[in-house]
Structure 1
Amino acid sequence: MLPAKIRHLLLALIVLILIASGLWWFSQPKPVTVALKEIDRGKVESSIANTRAGTVEACLRTRLSTILGGRIEILAVKEGDRVKKGQLLIKLWNDDQQAQRVLALTQVESARKHVAEACALAVNAESEAERQASLRAQGFVSKSAEEQARAAAQSKRASCDAVKADVAQTQARVSAARVELGRTVLYAPFDGTIAKIVGEVGEYSTPSPPGVPTPPAIDLIDDSCLYVRAPMDEVDAPKIKAGQPVRISLDALPKQSFPGKVRRVAPYVSAVEKQARTVDIEATLDHPEAPGKLLVGYSADVEVILAVRDNVLRVPTSALQEGGRVLVAGTDGKLQERKVKTGLANWEYTEVQNGLAAGERVVTSLEREGVKAGAHFVAEEKSK
């Protein structure tokens, strides 16, 4: 057996070695846990999206009010009703205009009878003038008698023409009365759905005077044709043209998107107080039936696709740092910084033209503390 002194020395040496090993271990930097994504090939799109929520709009929508104010006598529809073009919507009390129209029709009939009387007398007077002229040629009557007969015929003919003019005047009164009646009724200008009604039977309906916003009596929507209006940043506006493909997403239908086309780009910039200047675009669905029943007023987002490249090397956009740099998972367990050349990009993927190879893994959790070039790393479970 070893002497006790030697054993004590060996134990002390072992303890010193363990302490030194522990100090060395704890002095080493701990590896950071990172999320990794494997570089692969696939599709990359360059796109831009609206700055604020867009809105589903109807191609035809009108807010109707009667031209004249008055008491509502007939309310022929209710909110949510489907109506046909030309269908009566609202009629105001208009007994006075109807009475004026009846009076005008009566005047027309009276004037026509006066025409029959006056024109019959004119025909008789003209026949008498011809008879007097024949007798004058034979020497049976004087020249003055012939002239009197001719003057009487001309006078009767003038009376006939005057009464005819009275008929035209009274017919014009009928037309004017009809116009006045039309100012007290509302008819549907197109097929659609009644969205809102302001007023009830017996209440007074007031038209909107110039410069004074008054709620319309009827809000009529043609929901057979819908589009999405969305504001785009003025910086992106020059890139957008009618006919470009888009993806439309609706808050009411989460996790779904629908293909469409740009229909129109507004020719002016909208300046909204305390908000960025934007340009409105209109987009339509390629298959309007795909989302099902859409309601006017739904909030929607429009992503305009500017360019598409298929089967290209791509890196998650979240892995890119300023200056086109990425952190690559090295085979030595350390993170390596790599400069890459990029192409098309969107919020999800960016095309890699040079600097990375398929199969390499890049860090996507750049916001975590300690994630930097040269750091030891441990990959998260389920990361690729």
Structure 2
Amino acid sequence: MLSNPGISGRRRWPALLLLAGVVALAGCDREGGEAAAGPEEETQAVPVETVAAARRTVAASYTGTASLEPLAESQVVAKTSGVALEVLVEEGQTVRAGQTLVRLDPDRARLNLAQIEAQMRKLENNFRRSEQLASQQLVSAGEHDQLRYDLENARAAYRLAALELSYTNVTAPISGVIASRSIKTGNFVQINTPILRIVDNSRLEATLNVPERELATLKAGQPVSMRVDALPGTTFEGRVDRVAPVVDAGSGTFRVICAFEGGESLQPGMFGRISIDYDQRKDALAVPRVALLDDEGDAAVYVIREDKAVRTTVTTGYEDGAFVEIREGLEPGDQVVTAGKVALRDGTEVQVIGGAPAATATAAARADGDSR
């Protein structure tokens, strides 16, 4: 049987129309998807906070910690034995050098002195009679010389006994404050036994072990400031009293001794945080230390230029608290990123959300520097 070409052609038309519709729908979906994806692929600006580089006073300093020590300290010991008849001082009392602190029983020492004095007087009389007889050549020169030596020995024994008697009054070897007392009235005191401790707190010293790289910068007379844990919020001023320039081979450090005026506030044993200012720049360009990038290599910051973060290499100088001196790489008023650095790369678009105008930040920093 022969097929009818007209009928077969009419049957293919619906299939072709259906295929064309599917292709058209697919094209529309693809165009719509591309159109929807376009805005999502746009780069969003990274929010950052900035501060303007400004001029301020920057001080170069060395900081360290040390405990305060008194200028002088003495353990008062009994130089003779005896019963303590009187203890004349209490802990915390201020005493002066030579002041009597404790009285020991003097009876034994007084009797010994009297016995030696009697022997000495007898020898003095014998020596005077011997001189008269020697002038008449009635005694030999040897006997006369022996009497002279005996008398000198007796006089020395007398002075020693008098010294022993004086030891029954225990006196202060230095001026200062009674820091501790280990004796009570009525106690028997053995010779050379420590009974009191005196500290001279009129001047206090703090010894720093400083790395040898600072040897050329720290000198006697430089100003020192100190804060102590026991007195928060108070700063004490002092000076470098002396520098021991010998470097310890084991630790690589040398000793710097700082002196402070003592008084009711500062006391020996307090722990101090010490800062020694050895140089100062009154008009240095500075930025906050947090602006410096944490990565390795040369020091750098992100500077905002035309709404983009530009990585800029800088040369730093002194560090003073929260600020660092910038000697090269920035100009006054340059906005440097202080927060949001982690998400930045060189050329990243940014949105400043916490920056102050350059002129305002510069003026504020200058006022802060002038108030130091």
Distance 1:257 1:341, change over 3 A: same
SS state of the match for residue 117, structure 2?
helix
Q: How does 1:1-384 map to 2 (within 5 A)?
A: 31-50=45-64, 53-67=65-79, 72-93=84-105, 95-115=107-127, 118=129, 122=132, 151-152=137-138, 154=139, 163=147, 165-181=149-165, 185-203=169-187, 205=189, 216-269=194-247, 278-285=253-260, 288=261, 293-321=265-293, 322-332=297-307, 334-365=308-339, 369-379=342-352, 381=354
> What is the CA–CA distance in structure 2 between the aligned matches of 1:60 and 1:197, rounded to whole Å?
17
Contact persistence 2:50–2:355 (CA under 8 A): no
- TM-superposed CA distance for 1:372, in Å, is 4.1
> What is the CA–CA distance in structure 1 between the aligned matches of 2:49 and 2:335, rounded to whole Å?
10
Distance 1:326 1:151, change over 3 A: closer
Contact persistence 2:48–2:354 (CA under 8 A): no
> What is the CA–CA distance in structure 1 between the aligned matches of 2:117 and 2:248, rounded to whole Å?
54
> What is the CA–CA distance in structure 1 between the aligned matches of 2:190 and 2:36, rounded to whole Å?
89
Q: Deviations over 1:97-151 (max 9, x none)?
A: 33322211222233334445x259x36x96xxxxxxxxxxxxxxxxxxxxxxx55
User: TM-score scaled to structure 2, two decimals?
Assistant: 0.72
Contact persistence 2:203–2:259 (CA under 8 A): no
Q: Deviations over 1:155-213 (max 9, x none)?
A: 5x8767655544332221111223334556531123221111223334455677xxxxx
Contact persistence 1:34–1:371 (CA under 8 A): no
Instruction: Give the partner amino acid of 1:356.
Output: L
SS state of the match for residue 217, structure 1?
strand
SS state of the match for residue 343, structure 1?
strand
Aligned CA RMSD, in angstroms, stands at 3.9
- TM-superposed CA distance for 1:54, in Å, is 1.5
> What is the CA–CA distance in structure 1 between the aligned matches of 2:113 and 2:41, rounded to whole Å?
105
SS state of the match for residue 358, structure 1?
coil
Name the structure 2 match of 1:136.
none
Tell me the percent identity.
25
Q: What is the aligned length?
A: 329
> What is the CA–CA distance in structure 2 between the aligned matches of 1:175 and 1:106, rounded to whole Å?
13
Distance 1:247 1:103, change over 3 A: same
- TM-superposed CA distance for 1:299, in Å, is 1.7
Contact persistence 2:60–2:277 (CA under 8 A): yes
> What is the CA–CA distance in structure 2 between the aligned matches of 1:357 and 1:57, rounded to whole Å?
47
- TM-superposed CA distance for 1:40, in Å, is 0.5
Contact persistence 1:262–1:283 (CA under 8 A): yes
SS state of the match for residue 200, structure 2?
strand
> What is the CA–CA distance in structure 2 between the aligned matches of 1:278 and 1:234, rounded to whole Å?
5
Contact persistence 1:243–1:263 (CA under 8 A): yes
Poorly superposed stretches of 4+, deviation over 6 Å: 19-22, 157-161
Distance 1:354 1:76, change over 3 A: same
Distance 1:94 1:363, change over 3 A: farther
Distance 1:91 1:311, change over 3 A: same
- TM-superposed CA distance for 1:370, in Å, is 2.1
SS state of the match for residue 297, structure 1?
coil
- TM-superposed CA distance for 1:359, in Å, is 1.4
SS state of the match for residue 100, structure 1?
helix
- TM-superposed CA distance for 1:263, in Å, is 0.9
Distance 1:42 1:111, change over 3 A: same
SS state of the match for residue 169, structure 1?
helix
Contact persistence 1:64–1:218 (CA under 8 A): yes
> What is the CA–CA distance in structure 1 between the aligned matches of 2:39 and 2:267, rounded to whole Å?
65
Contact persistence 2:301–2:312 (CA under 8 A): yes
User: TM-score scaled to structure 1, two decimals?
Assistant: 0.70
Contact persistence 1:317–1:346 (CA under 8 A): no
- TM-superposed CA distance for 1:29, in Å, is 6.0
Further displaced range: 199-208 or 241-250: 199-208
Q: Deviations over 1:290-345 (max 9, x none)?
A: x973222222222222321111212223322341211123332x322111233333
